[in-house]
Amino acid sequence: MWSGSRWDWLIAFMLAMATIQCVRADFLMNETFIDWQRYAAGSETMPYQGRVGMMPVLRAAERSGWFRRGAARFGVTITTASLHQEPVTVEKVASMLAGLVSLAAMMGVAFWWSRRRGLRPWWLADVLVLAIAAVTLVLRATQNFWYAYDLPHAALFGCAVLLGMEDCWWAAFALFGLDLPMRETSIFLVPVFTGLLAFQPSAEGRRRWLLPLLTFAAMLAAWFAVRRLIGQAFAHNANETLLHTRENLHQLVLPHHWPQLFSAGGYLAIFIWLARRRLQAKDRWVLYAALLCVPVTMLYGVWTETRVWLEWTLPLAALGAAEISAVIAGTTLYPPDRQLLADWL
């Protein structure tokens, strides 16, 4: 638990440095194939243009003379030490700052969640957030891209999940609303929230199914409404939305792609799954919901571009920290999956 000792402050400082380095490495080591000026203008191809959440940020950065001068100075300091293939543009600096704020928010919520749960050590969830983010974003051999909206989406999505796990529903639904225009996979919050609400017993001890069902319908309707409006706004844009079956199968049969394929979730997802009986019922549901959403990501995503799994970074880190903390505390195992499913139904 956080004690405010000099060692805690030293750990917090090191975590802050690691957070900054993770974001810097993502944007300065990776490249992008998207024209972010076209994105800010609304003329980029779909589905990238449809992730409109960062448009106001990039437009504001482009219009700010102060920000343009600051980005130019930053670019000079970067290229003095080494040459980069990709120029340091205003859009890139704005995206980097937004990414830094987003990852810092994830670290802050991980710390809040750990204190609320009484996990020991307090920094464990934060370390796992950085471990997953670093492997997912930086340790790239193929598909080494950066995107302006990925870290903001990961922060909104992940923080919403942890707030829902702690029954802070007003804040959780507010983050869902902010995440709707950021990325299509905000829809994954629908099964997460529905299941978490279904685990709340009524005063008589029976499950309240009306509230989860209404939540499911309302969230689904909101998602379809927002995505339809976005689709109509950019109906005339070129569209690159497609399945990547052939590309993914090609990567799957070549063993030299396997290290990156398995790095989704920072190599930790399988270990978190194996230790799931250390988790409480509500926490375990988040893991099940992630498993339900994985096939959708596998269908539309490029498997070696493991940042498409980035929204699960904070939930996976929190669950992993809970499992490790349970092992340290000697907590007995919870009931097996089949018993939890029977109780839930």
Could you tell me which of 115, 99, 116, 128 has the C-alpha nearest to residue 15?
128
Indicate the SS3 state at residue 118.
Answer: coil
Phi-psi region of 31 (alpha: psi -120 to 50; beta: other; left: phi over 0): beta
pLDDT, tens digit only, all 345 positions of the chain: 666 788 889 999 999 999 999 999 999 888 998 999 999 999 999 999 999 999 999 999 999 989 999 998 888 887 655 566 788 899 999 999 999 999 999 999 999 999 999 998 999 999 999 999 999 999 888 888 999 999 999 999 999 999 999 999 999 999 999 999 999 999 999 999 998 998 775 544 455 678 888 999 999 999 999 999 999 999 999 888 888 888 888 888 999 899 999 998 999 999 999 999 999 888 999 999 999 999 899 888 889 888 889 999 999 999 999 999 999 888 777 777 777 666 665
Helices (H) and strands (E) in the chain, counts: 16, 0
Tokens representing residue 96 in the block: 């980097």
The residue segments making up the domain with residue 312 are 6-344
The whole-number pLDDT of residue 203 equals 43
Q: Is residue 270 included in any domain, yes or no?
A: yes
The neighbouring-strand residues paired with 207 are 201
- Determine if the pTM surpasses 0.85: yes
Q: How far is CA 71 from the centre of its chain?
A: 26
In a domain, 217, yes or no: yes
Residue 225 pLDDT:
96
- Give strand pairing partners of 201: 207
Secondary structure (DSSP) of 32-70: --S-HHHHHHT-SPBTTTT-GGGHHHHHHHHH-HHHHHH
Residue 260: closest CA among 140, 150, 147: 140
Residue 1 maps to a domain: no
What per-residue confidence (pLDDT) applies to 1? 60
b vs e for 166-192, b when ≥16 Cβ sit within 10 Å of the residue's Cβ? bebeeebbebbebbbbbbbbbbbbbbb
The predicted pLDDT at position 268 comes to: 93
Residue 176 maps to a domain: yes
**Dihedral through CA 101, CA 104, CA 108, CA 111, nearest 10?**
170
Coil, helix or strand at residue 207: strand
How many other C-beta atoms lie within 10 A of the C-beta of residue 200?
Answer: 12
Look at residue 344 in the predicted model and tell me its pLDDT: 60
Q: Say if CB 132 and CB 19 are below 8 A apart.
A: no
Give residue 339's pLDDT: 72
Residue 290 lies in a domain: yes
Q: Count how many domains the chain has.
A: 1
Assigned domain for 292 exists: yes
What pLDDT does residue 41 have?
Answer: 93
